[in-house]
Structure 1
Amino acid sequence: MSRNNLFIRFLFGILFLTSCEFNSVTDQYGPFGPDTVKAPSQVIATPISKFDRNPYLLDTSKRYIYLSFDDGPWKGTMETYALCKELGVKATYFMIGLHAHSRKEGKFTVHLLKESYPQFLIANHSYSHALGHYASFYQHREAAFADFLRTQDTLSPPYKIIRLPGNNAWVLKDTLKASGLVRPLCKQLDSAKFNVIGWDTEWMFNHKTAKPLQSAQKMADQINHLMDHQLTFTSKHLILLTHDRMFQHPDELDSLRKMILILQQNPKIVFETVDHYPGLNW
Structure 2
Amino acid sequence: MSAPDQLLVVIDPVARRFDGESVRIAKDVLCAGSAAKICLPDGPEEFSRALARRGSRRPVVIGDDRALLRTVGQLHRARELAGEALSLVPVGGGASVAVARSLGVPTGAVAAARAVLDGAAHPLDLLADDSDGVVLADLHIPAGPATAGAPGRTGSVWHTCRSLLRTFARPVPPAPPGVRTHRLRVEADGVLLSDLDEPVEDVRVRAAEGAAEVTVHRSSDPGPVRSLAKVVTVSGADFRYRADALVGGPVRRRTWTLRPRAWSLTLPGPRTAGE
Bin the TM-score by the shorter chain.
Answer: under 0.3
Q: Which has the higher strand share?
A: 2
Q: Which has the higher helix share?
A: 1
TM-score for the superposition, normalised by structure 2: 0.26
Larger-gyration structure (1/2): 2
Higher relative contact order, chain-length normalized (CA < 8 Å, sep 6+): 1
TM-score for the superposition, normalised by structure 1: 0.25
